[in-house]
Structures are given as C-alpha cells and as structure tokens.
Structure 1
Amino acid sequence: MKVAYLQCGTGISGDMTLAALIDAGVDQEKLQAAIQSLRLPGVNLIVSEVMKGCFRARHIRVEHPEQHAHRHYSDIVEILNQADGLSDKQRSLAQSIFLEVAKAEAQVHGTDVESIHFHEVGAIDSIVDIVGAAVGFDLLGCDQIHCSPIPPGRGQVNIDHGLCDVPTPGTAELLKGIPLVDVPIEAELTTPTGAAIVKTLVDQFGPLPSMTIQSIGYGAGTMNFESRANLLRLFVGTVSVPAGTDEVCLLETNLDDVSGEVIAHTMQRLLEAGAKDVYSIPIQMKKGRPATMLCVLADPLQQEKLEKILFAETGTLGIRQQRILRSTLARQAHTVLTDLGPVLGKVAWHRTGIPSFSPEFEDCARIAKEHSLPIREVYRSAITAFDAQSIGSSPERISPTHSSSATASDHKTHDRDHHSHDHDHHGHDHDHDHHGHDHG
C-alpha cells in the first residue's frame, strides 16, 4: 500500500505543501499546466531551491498582478469548473478543500457558506496552492495520507479582521478534531490553507508509520527561525499489508429522504455491480430526523463505478470514502452431499487450521421448498454432512471429491461471509453529506 506522510515540524502552509510535493517527485510541468488552466491572468508558479538552516529544500512563489477583490465560495467553484486542465477528481478535491474553509469561516462569523467571502484563502496565491495540492496528491497516487500532530504556533498576527491570537479563529475551527502539538516559536506556523489541506486529505494522524521510504520531499516556508529549519517533510513509500489482510474501500452516505424500496433496489444494484458487501444502518441526524446510512465495501478498483450507482439511484449529495484494511480467512467454494441432495456453500479456515462450512441460502431455500421442509433442517443436514467429511487444514488440501468449481450460485455471494459481513465500526471524523440538506 502506497502511503504519504506529512511531517509538520514547523507547521504547514499551502506553499510548503506544494513545494514538498514537487520535491518528492510530482511532475512540475503537469502542475503548471493545471494551474494555467485556471485562467488567472498573469499568474506564474516560480519554483526554486533554497537553503533552510543547513538543509536544501524547494520553495514556491506565486507571481500575480495586484488584486483587490474578495471572492465568494461560488466564485471559486466557477473558477474550478472552467479549468479544463483539471480531472474530475482533482476539481472535486480542490473544491472540497475550499468548502472546508468556507464552513469554518461561516461558523466563526455566524453566517452561511454562500455569504462568506474569502480573504487570505481567496487570494490568487492561495487558490494556486490549494489547486496545486489537490493535483499534486492526485498525481502522487497514494492510497493513504498520514500526518504528524500539527503545531499551530504562538503569538499574534494581523489579518483583515484585525490583530488575532494564533491560531486565528478560522484556522482553529479547521483544526477541530486534529491532534496539535506546541512548538515554542512566536509565529503563525499553520495557515488556514495548510489546515484546510490537512483537514480534507489526511486519513490518519500519528508518528511516522513503519514504511519503506521511496522518496522524501522538502518544502520550505518563507520565514526563518533561529532554533530550527522551517521545513515541511513529505515521505512517500509503501506499507506492507500482513498476510490474510486485504485493502477495501468503504463508501458511506446518509439518506434522510429516500424510501426503503429505493434503498433496497440500490443495494441490489451495488451487489450485482461487484460490491463485496452492502448494508444499511438506521441513524438519527440533527433535529431528530430519522435516516439511513448506506454502506458499501468494495475493491478499490470498483470505487468509481459503485459511486456512480449511489449518486444515480439515491440522489445523495456526497459520499464518504475510506481505504481500510480487512482481515480475512482463507475460503473456498465447496459442495456437500446430503440425503436431500448436494448443497453448495463455502469452507473457511480459521487461523488455527480448523475449517467451518457455511451453506448457501439459495441452495438451502430451494431444497426446503422442494421437500416441504423447514430451512433450518436443510442447514442442519448440510452442516452434519460437512462434519462427516475429512477436510484438510488449508484450501490446497480440500478433498477434490466434494469440492466444486464456482457456479452461478457462488457468484451471487460476492465473497461475503455468511456469519460475518465485515461490518467494521469506524469513527467518522469527516463531515457527513446529507441528501436534501446542506449541513455546512
């Protein structure tokens, strides 16, 4: 699994992030082309090598004409929508970062997202930094982004609203739920742009993970400190996935105005399209609204296809995505011979090597109907037949006499365990998009 790790020893800003991405190997020409497609007159990205303390690093400077306009969130969206050099994913990622800023500012000023006009983050250099970060991380192609705790800094800074303590109100709002660390430097170490990038992109906070490093990028900040080098380090590498573990994508969306019939239809379509599992959870949203959280476990390669189904069938406005590791047992399709006929199922081997058998519901239901029996008797007959067999301690040692190749019934299982549907419980630190309601 490919992982990026942001080591924020002296905080994080947009220009430091973009510089670190380029230094770590992201194609500078592709970044330049994406930024030029924003059609902001007179804008150029100047990349240089500098020394911070005794360390070489990249530094980013955005050349642009003098500006006086303050942009609203809708103005930013319009700029992104007309940028034909951005992929849909890059555009969506950049828009998500700006939306986090808009929601933070709206909370601080007691208004709504559309009424907020951006100050520093609406400036041309911040637009370039955010779009560049979205494009850069997409080009980096990491499965997960990890980050160290964030140092906000100390002291006071002048902003458009006057003199403010660090972290400024907007930055503090963005840093909610993110672990902080105190670094004794009298300066604003983490900017609103840097905080928004972290808020949107980072999957996990903590120390540098156990990884095989492939590249390291150094992004230089503008300020110089006596006690330490003002650098953001970006580690890019791989994390080995333990045996018996695979990576899956978890998709979730909250639905408060979709009927049960539509949800059931959507679940069936998702399973037919290749989802490993689909399940729903009754939830209660704010103001006491009852709702349903629809969850999908899938191979990461199936993510885009399944998201299209979710958007089309439910009309949801947003889907949360997580890449998670899943521990699995070795398993194989298997048929047992019972007095009632053959029953297809799956054999799973526990880590101890002891096998267990799960009969297929469709086979058991068919036999129960044919013989006018309760389905639990068919299940019992299948399990008894399996217990009477001699099954090896691994899939390679299963008796070929009783094994069966995958059939149409097997394909209906989509690799779902019948007694454990991989319903992992996750803390959701990200904002939940609710269909029909803009919960900014």
Structure 2
Amino acid sequence: MTSDARVVVIGAGLAGVTLARRLGELGTPALVVGEEEHRPYNRVLLAEVLAGRYAPEVITLPAPPALVRARVVGIDRAAREVRCADGSAIGYGTLVLATGSNPVLPPLRGLFRAGHELPAGVHAFRTMDDCLRLSAALRPGARAVVVGGGLLGVSAARALAERGAQVVLAQQAERLMERQLDPGASRLVLRHLRGLGVEVHTECRVRDVRCVGGAVRSVELADGYALDADLVVLACGVRPRTGLAEDAGLTVREGVVVDGALRTSDPHIRAVGDCAEHAGTVYGLAAPALEQVAALAGLLTGTAASPYTGTRSLTRLTLHGPDSPLDLAAFGETDVRPGDDVVQLADATRGTYRRVVVRGDRLVGGVLVGELGTVGALARAWEGAEPLPTDGGPLLHLLTPDGGS
C-alpha cells in the first residue's frame, strides 16, 4: 500500500488498537505506531494488576497486524509524514491521533527533582510501567498515601489495601468520586474503603512532598499535618495528550477538536479517544472511545456514513474486598435542578442504593450501588430519551425488579 492510501494510527492503546483491528476486518489495513514496549493492554484494568488479581498478560489486547514501536516527535502535514525519535519517517494518507492522555501531576513543593523526575517512592498511575514499578516497590505494611479521590484514586487505594499496605487517601473535594456519584453513593464507597482499612481524608489539600536522600518520607497537608509515607500515588486526573497536534498547528482546546467525522482542522487527520474533543466534550472514558472508533471505521471504509453525534456514557466500577465486591454505576445528570423529581431507594443492611433523577417526563440520570441488575433497563430508558409513563409504576419496576413489593 502506498503512503498516499495508508491509514496510520498514533497510539497503541484501546482506541488505536481497536480501530486498527476494525479497519483490517473491513479490508483497510492500518499501521499502528506505539511507544510503549509492552504489548498493547487495557488500561482500565491496571488497578486489577496492581491488586494482584490479574497478571499483566491477562489484560493484553490482540496485537494489530502492523505495529511499529517508535516515539512520534512530529507531524509534517505538508509532506503527510510523521517523524519518529529514531530519525525515521512514516508516510500517511489518513492519520489518526489516538494519543490518549497524560496524568495530571499537581504543583506540590518537593515533587520534582532535577530533570523533572519524580522522587523515589512517588508514582503516577497511568501506564503499565507505572503499575509494575509501584507493584515492585510495594511491601506489606508499607505506608502509602494516595493523592486524589476520584475514580482512579479510589481504585488505586483499594488495590494497595488489598496488597497489605497501610493506605491513606487524601481528597481535596468534599466527597469521593464527586464527578460520578452523589453524596449517598459516595458515603457507601467511603464505608467500603474504610472496611478495607483505608484512612480517608476529604476536603484535604496536599501541599508538600518531603524527601530525604531523594526518596519520599512524608506528605504535608495544607493545615500542616504530616502523613508518613513510603509510597505516594498521584491520582489527580488526566489531561488529553495534545502536544503533537498543537505542534502541528491543529485546533486544540482542551482536546484535539474534531467534527462528526472525527476530523480535525486538517482533513487528512482524525482523532479518537481521550485526546479528542467533540462538541466541547472530552470524555476520557473507554465507552465513548469505542463508539468513536466504530464510527470512524465505518466512515474511513465507506461501510457506514453516520457521523459521530456524541456519547451518553455510563460509568461502571467494581471495588473488590475481602468479603463481597461493591458494584457502582452512574449515568447522566445526578445533580438536581429546581423542579426535578428524585426517586431514591436505599437498603443500609444490604449496602444497596438507587437514585434516579427525572426532569419533566424524561429520565436524565442515576446512581446505583450494589446489585446492579436494574442498571441495563435504566440505562436503556435514559439512552432512548423516551417519555416515561405518567403513573410512575414502570419506573419503580426499573429500580426494583420485584416492583417494590
């Protein structure tokens, strides 16, 4: 295949590898360029590797037929080439950016040494290398501080506790997973973590990392309180990886701006996944990335012409523990506006919680914790955006399989 017709994908994560596989199935081979030395893997499952539940090879993805290990350092749009760190160049007809995202490293005093390296014992938690380094450093009884109480921070804290660490989680917001969960669901997550022995501090800002001999020894909070630490895990969110796009002069806001054809401001360059911004939204989740991949594969091969119109994404998470796991699901809008109706069912004994928000005659969002048998029906009612029956009975059946009896 000549470079004029070739599809080149930068990024060997879930989005890039899945796109290459779909294109191949549809008769359009693609070349994937990935910089990690590991086989492509599902990043969503890294916490399970850290917990020791899965071996690294369990979360690997089927490798694309054509995969080049290289770090791309530039895009020459005029020549339609990508330039690699080893001096090589790869021509493309269509270029797809699936570069993912980078971890957010907070501006803490003492965080970086010369050369912008993290001190010994301080770890980001984004890649397989991050996971393996952290796992190798972990010892039973080690004092670990997790900075950040979002989805990633909660997953990391749970995994470290399962490995026998003494874990403290420091969350700046007033509750855990505040972007996905309402206060009631957050309380159940808090109870679950405390049941694993995790010490949780909310409304708590970390300001300093204290090191001795280049290795972390403690973390200082804004109120001056110090937490002893052998390990620090930075789980402060992610930021779209847009450097290549910016250097190439593409339109970038929070992410690389794309239209319904996943096309950037250069008609020969598309973008999908964590790095892409569509209609003002960067999703940063697996489900929207896979929907974008499916749409782009159809558009590039001519097998489907439907544009990507956005994703109504559902977040699911399972927190394992010594007894039973805690299953979580959240979708849509969970904040209540004036005039909204709220239906809530909670069972403290069974540790279950269900809360949905109805606006007018539409289901606009919900949070479920424990026993997620109803989540599929609720999500379908939400995704379909169909009017709900006025008597409320079917909604109760969606919340409780036995209809509340």
One fold, TM greater than 0.5? Answer: no
Could you say which structure has the larger radius of gyration?
1
Q: Point out the structure with the larger helix share.
A: 1
Bigger RCO (CA 8 Å, 6+ sep):
1
- Normalised TM-score (structure 2): 0.27
